[in-house]
């Protein structure tokens, strides 16, 4: 046992015991966090606008602060970008995490000096819990790869701004820097294919023990390694590889191919991070769900998923939730996000401790590759394309095409035309370009050669009507989903 794994063992034990203890105090911790948030919030412009000085408990808080999405809170973000202090939280944000929006385009999510530890500490805790649960600390001695965005940051109103994964890269502890792959210069490369080629060159002969990233990025990395090594499986190249850390998208569609690429099984750790916060992580190897992060600067609220678009939805604190019910996840954080709807839905699979699974989004979406494309974006892209290349659309739906026999994956658009455009190829390129302009994540994936441009498959007349009839949902309020994260609907239509 080398020095890092030797020292990690007692440290992991201490942190694990602390987390175990906090499981028993989750409700009290949440109440304490709310009071701490209010204590700071009264000193802000937001606090003055919502009379937080008069708020004493959760019931009063939920009456004073409405549920908001980014569009509704963007006026406060704009004030921060204009240089104002004490807007949503004390002082100015430490960073802006730049992420894809919905109707607003790019979002700028504040990360404060108080909230940065939520992002860094939770990622650390996930690894330390794994060490204790598995007994495996040896991976700490090998090389670790974190497939992330560029750590190069721009400045907006003097605030460093970039992708969350790039921001986090600046906070990797010094004792891990020598283990971290790739090097900083490679991480700064914007073009994904160029970057991946460098990563493969740097790592193919290293003793890799941990790989972290979103599943499609991992798979592309594995594919290139296999090609460069004349077909060797990943575990042949990295015999000491022991764990994959993943999050961001559903792992299941990728599991079979990833494990086949590996050649031998390795452990996996699931996490639930976002630009707005690190909400949950896998703390055990043998129980379902992710441990909710109840003592890390975030006060959670839960709205029954079916009520999320009501004017006055039911708002629940942690002690009020029930098992196996879908809730929209609402956060209040020490980054200055108040009553913030992150757009995800969760379900509790355990209340002692509080463990969740992520069940979807509050709106139809497609995010099989981390792109978070929403219905409004695809509808607008299609509308603008029809204005340039006249066509009449009856109905459409979009699904990911992951298994492509060697091609890059892509979005497949299944479209029933009343009038097919004269030049379908040009029309398809226009739809793709419009979508890229509306969604920076999708654009990143195309530019980085992780996805190829979308493809349109024209369907026969009445395809959607016949499908809805076949499942007994023709008429009434039943609608065909415009976006799916799997191919169930697409394959049914094609068959």
**Residue 205 scores a pLDDT above 50:** yes
pLDDT at 21: 94
Burial of 141 (0-12, 13-18, 19+ CB in 10 A): middle
Backbone angles phi, psi at 347, to 5 degrees: -135, 135
Task: Measure the CA angle with vertex 46, ends 77 and 106; round to 5°.
Answer: 15
State residue 101's pLDDT score: 47
Q: What integer is the mean pLDDT of 456-483?
A: 76
Residue 263 backbone zone (phi > 0: left; psi -120 to 50: alpha; other: beta): left
- pLDDT class of 466 with cuts at 50, 70, 90: confident
Mean pLDDT, rounded, for 318-335: 95
Q: What is the mean pLDDT of residues 277-289?
A: 94
Give me the mean pLDDT over the 98-126 stretch: 85
List Cα–Cα distances, 262 to 221, 238, 247, 302, in angstroms: 11, 9, 18, 39
- pLDDT (tens digit per residue) in 126-147: 999 999 999 988 888 899 998 7
Average pLDDT over residues 245-249: 82
Give Cα 326 to chain centroid, integer Å.
18
Confidence of residue 103 (pLDDT cuts 50, 70, 90): very low
With vertex at residue 270, the alpha carbon angle to CA 285 and CA 141, rounded to the nearest 5 degrees, is 75
Share of the chain above pLDDT 70, in %: 93
Taking the C-alpha atoms of residue 252 and residue 268, their distance in angstroms, rounded to an integer, is 12
Cβ of 338: how many Cβ atoms within 10 Å? 26
pLDDT of residue 479: 61
- At 11-21, the pLDDT tens digits run 889 999 999 99
Residues 401-432: tens digit of each pLDDT: 988 788 999 999 999 897 899 999 999 999 99
Query: Could you give the domains of the chain?
Result: 1-362 (3.40.50), 365-494 (3.30.300)
Nearest to 74 by CA among 51, 50, 105, 49: 105
């Amino acid at each position: 046992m080398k020095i890092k794994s030797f020292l990690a063992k007692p440290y992991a034990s201490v942190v694990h015991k602390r987390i175990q203890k906090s499981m028993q105090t989750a409700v009290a911790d949440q109440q304490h966090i709310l009071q701490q948030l209010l204590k700071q919030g009264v000193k802000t412009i937001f606090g003055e606008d919502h009379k937080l000085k008069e708020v004493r408990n959760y019931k009063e808080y939920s009456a004073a602060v409405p549920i908001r999405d980014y569009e509704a809170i963007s006026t406060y973000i704009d004030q921060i970008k204009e240089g104002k202090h004490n807007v949503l939280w004390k002082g100015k944000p430490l960073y802006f995490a730049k992420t894809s929006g919905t109707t607003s385009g790019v979002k700028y999510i504040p990360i404060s000096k108080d909230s940065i530890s939520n992002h860094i500490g939770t990622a650390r805790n996930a690894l330390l819990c794994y060490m204790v649960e598995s007994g495996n600390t040896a991976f700490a001695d090998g090389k670790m790869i974190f497939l992330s965005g560029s750590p190069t940051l721009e400045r907006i109103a003097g605030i460093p701004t970039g992708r969350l994964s790039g921001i986090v890269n600046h906070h990797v502890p010094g004792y891990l820097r020598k283990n971290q792959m790739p090097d900083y210069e490679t991480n700064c490369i914007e073009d994904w294919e160029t970057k991946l080629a460098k990563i493969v060159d740097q790592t193919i002969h290293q003793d890799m023990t941990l790989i972290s990233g979103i599943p499609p990025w991992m798979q592309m990395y594995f594919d290139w390694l296999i090609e460069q090594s004349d077909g060797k499986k990943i575990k042949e190249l990295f015999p000491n590889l022991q764990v994959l850390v993943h999050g961001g998208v559903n792992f299941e569609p990728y599991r079979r191919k990833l494990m086949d690429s590996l050649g031998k099984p390795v452990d996996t750790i699931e996490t639930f991070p976002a630009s707005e916060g690190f909400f949950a992580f896998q703390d055990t190897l043998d129980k379902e769900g992710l441990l909710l992060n109840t003592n890390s600067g975030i006060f959670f609220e839960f709205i029954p998923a079916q009520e999320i678009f009501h004017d006055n939805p039911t708002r629940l604190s942690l002690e009020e939730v029930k098992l196996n019910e879908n809730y929209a996840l609402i956060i209040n954080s020490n980054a200055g996000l108040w009553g913030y709807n992150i757009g995800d839905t969760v379900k509790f699979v355990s209340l002692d401790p509080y463990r969740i699974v992520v069940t979807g989004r509050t709106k139809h979406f497609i995010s099989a590759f981390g792109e978070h494309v929403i219905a409004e974006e695809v509808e607008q892209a299609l509308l603008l394309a029809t204005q340039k290349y006249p066509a009449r659309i009856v109905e459409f739906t979009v699904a990911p095409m992951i298994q492509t026999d060697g091609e890059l994956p892509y979005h497949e658009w299944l479209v029933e035309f009343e009038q097919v455009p004269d030049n379908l190829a040009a029309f398809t390129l226009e739809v793709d370009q419009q979508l890229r302009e509306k969604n920076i994540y999708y654009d990143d994936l195309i530019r980085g050669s992780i996805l190829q441009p979308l493809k349109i498959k024209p369907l026969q007349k009445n395809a959607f009507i016949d499908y809805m009839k076949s499942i007994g949902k023709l008429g009434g309020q039943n609608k065909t989903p415009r976006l799916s994260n799997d191919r169930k609907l697409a394959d049914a239509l094609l068959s």
